[in-house]
Every structure is written in C-alpha cells, then in structure tokens.
Structure 1
Amino acid sequence: MLTVEKSGPIAVVTLNRPEAMNALSKALRAALHTVMFELDADPAISVVVLTGAGERAFTAGLDLKELGSDPKAMSAANDQGADSNPVRAIEVCRKPVIGAINGVAITGGFELALACDVLIASENARFADTHARVGIMPGWGLSQKLSRLIGIYRAKELSLTGNFIDAATAEAWGLVNRVVPASELMPTALKLAADMASIPVETLSFYKSLIDEGYGRSFNKGLEIEHKRSSAHNRDVTPESVEARRAAIQARARTQ
C-alpha cells in the first residue's frame, strides 16, 4: 500500500491504494510514518517526493469505509501521534518533501498535501475540503493553514461549500507552485528535487526548519528567530567554504 523508490539522494514515496483512491487507512498511515522516519534518518537521502498511484487521486483522505465500520476509528481525524496522523508523519521528516499531486486531494488528503513543502500539480489535480459535508471537523490543521495560504474568504468558500477547485484555480490562488501536464508531473517534481539535492542536506534541513519555525509566529518573532539561529550558524561558516560554494554557484549559473 506504500512504495518507496530511491534514486541517488531522492526518494519517491507513493501512496499505493489506487482501487480505494489511495484512502488513508489506519495501516497506510502507520506505514507512512515508518517510511518517513526511516528516510529522515537515511544520510543518503536529501529530498522526498510524495505522490499517489494512478491518475484519479493523490488521496481521498481518511478511509470512510473504515470509519463507518469501526466506531473507534473516528478518533483518527484528531489523532496527533505521527503513527496515525499523516500530517505529523510528514513533519517528522526534516528534509524537503515535494508533493506531486496527481489527482484529487480531498479532505484529509487536502491536509496531507498542505503538509508538503512544495506542491506541483498535474492538470488532473483537484482540491476539496469536504469535512463539513461528511460531518467531521478537521483535526490535522486545515482550518488554520488554508486561510493563511489563500486568504480567509477563499478558505471559507472552499470549506463551507465542500466544492472542488481545479488545478488552474489552485495555482491562481497560490495553493500550488505550478501546474503541469500529467505526463510531466513526475519529471518536473524530480527535476525540482534534484535542484534541492544539489545543496548539502544539512543546509536544506536547517533552512526548512528556519522557515517553518518563523512562519507559525508573528513577523517580529520570526525575525528574532532568524537572527538568533542564523547568527549561531553563520559563526561556524569559514571563508574557504564560502569561496568553494561561490565557485559552484557561478558554474551552475552558466548552465541555467
């Protein structure tokens, strides 16, 4: 139900339940946590690409059949442990996670997409928050994240109607980085991953955490965090290392 393919410093993690629209069953959520924990600890991996099997769905969110058959399963919508909450499972990974959104990302699947650091969407991708229609309130962060990403009015439109938006609208609203033809989704995501992986993984992880830590705070507090953490980091940077990287940057600029 979950596959992992490694190619050099890049790992592709695929939610592999296409017959169930890659719904996030209890077993799949546990497997995702295990895999993300292992990739975080793997020194050979710098960047992770997360996608879904098939063209229909990135993921349809929690497995509603499972929820409907087991009263205890209902608590999954509010679980905070990384072994059950897929958003926390993604956050376990200190390395960049690129979401390659191949199809619909619905409700909990929408929340999982928002846990990624960068989103590349296929032209087949669509997004919907159907929590209200299902009668379950979001517990993995969507009610707070979405309004901060696309504005409170657009967020309310999506969440209070349960309507879908297509990939082009998602791009126009700033929800995804870019939209590409379905055939170009993985090549585009892998090219972006390779660009990131050309930077030392320690630097990637530090910068990702710096952005994330400040984003959840006020602007002034974010500036304080940046100053404190970057000052400590930059004291250990040597002129020799800067010169070596400057030369590499110049060489890369000539090829772009």
Structure 2
Amino acid sequence: MSYENILIEKDGGIATVTINRPAKLNALNKATIEELNRALKELKDDKETRVLIITGSGEKAFVAGADISEFADYSVKQGKQLAEKGQDLLFNYIENYNKPVIAAVNGFALGGGLELALACHFRVASDHARMGLPEVSLGVIPGYGGTQRLPQLIGKGRAMEMIMTGGMIGTEQALAYGLINHMIAQEQLLPFCKKIANKIMTNSSVAVATAIKAVNAGFNKKGFDAEIELFGESFGTEDFKEGTAAFLEKRKADFPGK
C-alpha cells in the first residue's frame, strides 16, 4: 500500500513508521491520520511485524501539532466530530493496539503531536526535543486525549500546569516528570528504540499483547467522552475564533473572554 504522508521501513520484526510532512513540521492533518490508521491496520495483520516505532521526519519535529488551517472555521458539531474521529482512528487505536508501539520523539511534540506520543505505549526522546499542549492559546482544549493521558502519566498537578500555561518543557524535565522513559542523543534515538524493541521480541507476543490490554483496563475511559464534548464546545466560543485567527495571521491573540 502506498502513502503520501508517511514512510514505513521494516527490519527484523520492527516496523518504523515515519510521519513525513517536513514542510509542515509533520503536522497531523486528516489525511495523515487516515494514512496512519491504514498503516497500523496493515501492520497489525503482518505476522512478521512484532513492534512498531513511530517517529517524525528530520531532526526538528516529531509532530508539531494538528494542522490548524483545517479546522479554524469549524462549528461545535464539527469540532466534536473531529475529536471523536481522530481518537477512534488513531489515538485510542494506538493505545489499544495489540503490538507494542514506541514513540521516538525526535523534536517538537506539541498539541496533537504530544497526544500521539502519549497514546503510544511508552516514549523515548532525543535530548533536544520539546513537548507541550498549547491548545488553550488558541481558545480550545486538547481534543485527542491530552486531558486524560497526561494526568494519568505525570500526575494531575503537573498536567494542569502544562495544559493551562500552554508552555513547553524540555527533555530533562519530561524525564523527571515520567513523561518519557529515556533521553537519548539524536543520532542514537532510533537505534536505542530498536534495542528495546529487540528485547521485547524475545518475549511471548501473546503475553505482551495481553499485558497491554491488562494495563489499559486499569484506566477509566469515561473522561475521553467528556473531552470530546468539551473540545467541541470550544469551537462555539469567540476565544476560539480569535485564537485560531491570530495563529493563522501570525499575531498575538487578543481574547475577548467569551
């Protein structure tokens, strides 16, 4: 199967999926989300593939967010559909995937990019990577699982601070928070992830798949429904219209607060 926005490389049971939109800093548009879903389904049926690594092209960005130009004029209903479809096709799909999925965070992981990394089973980042959820600066909230997976991973207080400030943290802070498992030099990022993948592959693939299911069972999924609802409602606010307009016009937002 051919893809326009992603690359797939297979090597000894490991499939490396690279999001390949360097001109857009690998931003997630609808087409890329759909391609990732198709690729994941294809690799799920591939008996030779036992571990997946997801990364971004180049050294600047893993995924620098969602493609804001696609949804700047969405209604509340369209906003809810955007979050719901994205979670079904990609983020929830990865979290519940029956093969281990490692995020190799090679640069900026912002907004939907960080949410993509959060959906993976664990994360390894290069030492210059930067991570954050800047959605509130656009008058919206994270809509692809960020309000749920980030607190589960790093704790409520730290997640609240990251989400409410919309700021970025570096790899050392992410490591201290438990947001990432390892911090690695850029040139060693993929070799290190493959080393972990090879270690996983010495174990029972059935047991590993069952362990993924068992760990995920310990978390309440009702919060994701609330996130979809509230994300969609954000599209009906004047702050969202101002925030996205300011972003696309490359100026500072002047939020009316309603």
TM band (smaller chain): 0.7 to 0.9
Q: Cα distance 1:77–1:109, how it changes in 2: closer, same or farther (>3 A)? A: farther
Cα distance 1:136–1:76, how it changes in 2: closer, same or farther (>3 A)? farther
Residue equivalent to 2:235:
none
Counterpart position of 1:176: 180
Q: Structure 2 matches for 1:190-229, cutoff 5 A?
A: 190-216=194-220
Q: Residue 25 of structure 2 corresponds to which residue in structure 1?
A: 21
Name stretches of at least 5 consecutive residues in structure 1 with no aligned partner: 218-256
1:187: which partner in 2? 191
Q: What amino acid sits opposite 1:154 in the alignment?
A: R
Q: CA deviation at 1:201?
A: 1.7
Distance 1:58 1:149, change over 3 A: same
Matched-pair contact (CA < 8 Å) for 1:36–1:92:
no
The one-letter code of the counterpart of 2:53 is V
Instruction: Indicate the residue corresponding to 1:124 in structure 2.
Output: 128
CA distance in 2, matches of 1:124, 1:93: 28
List 4+ stretches of structure 1 deviating above 4 A.
69-77
Distance change (3 Å), C-alpha of 1:186 and 1:6: same
Task: After TM superposition, give the deviation of residue 129 of structure 1 in Å.
Answer: 0.7
- Among residues 40, 46, 50, which one is paired with 1:46 in the alignment? 50
Specify every segment of 5 or more residues in structure 2 that has no aligned partner in the other structure, as ranges: 222-258
Deviation at 1:184? 0.7
For 1:171, the aligned partner's letter is: L
State the percentage of identical aligned residues: 37
Q: Which has the higher contact order (CA 8 A, sep 6+)?
A: 2
SS for the counterpart of 1:23 is: coil
Residue-pair matches, total: 216
2:66 and 2:145 mapped to 1: Cα distance? 14
TM-score (norm 2): 0.78
Q: Secondary structure at the match of 2:217?
A: helix
What SS class does the counterpart of residue 7 from structure 2 fall into?
A: strand
Matched, 1:78 2:83: yes
CA RMSD of aligned residues (A): 2.0
* 1:153 shift after superposition: 1.4
Partner of 2:40: 36
Please tell me whether Structure 1 or Structure 2 has the larger radius of gyration of its CA atoms: 1
Name the counterpart of 1:149: 153
Q: Give 2:15's aligned residue.
A: 11
Matches of 1:68 and 1:30 in 2, distance apart? 20
Offset, 1:140: 2.0
Contact kept? 1:146, 1:155, Cα under 8 Å: yes
Which of the residues 160, 163, 167 maps onto 2:164?
Answer: 160
Report what 2:231 is aligned to. Answer: none
Q: Following the alignment from structure 1 to structure 2, what is the Cα–Cα distance between the partners of residues 63 and 92? A: 25
Alignment deviations for residues 110-131 of structure 1 (CA, whole Å, 9 cap, x no partner): 1111001111000121111111
2: CA distance, partners of 1:76 / 1:122: 33
| CA 76–166 in structure 1, closer or farther in 2 if over 3 Å, else same | farther
Structure 1 partner of 2:250 = none
Work out the CA distance in 2 between the residues paired with 1:34 and 1:92: 15
Tell me if 1:113 matches 2:117. Answer: yes
* Conserved? CA contact 1:111–1:142, under 8 Å: yes
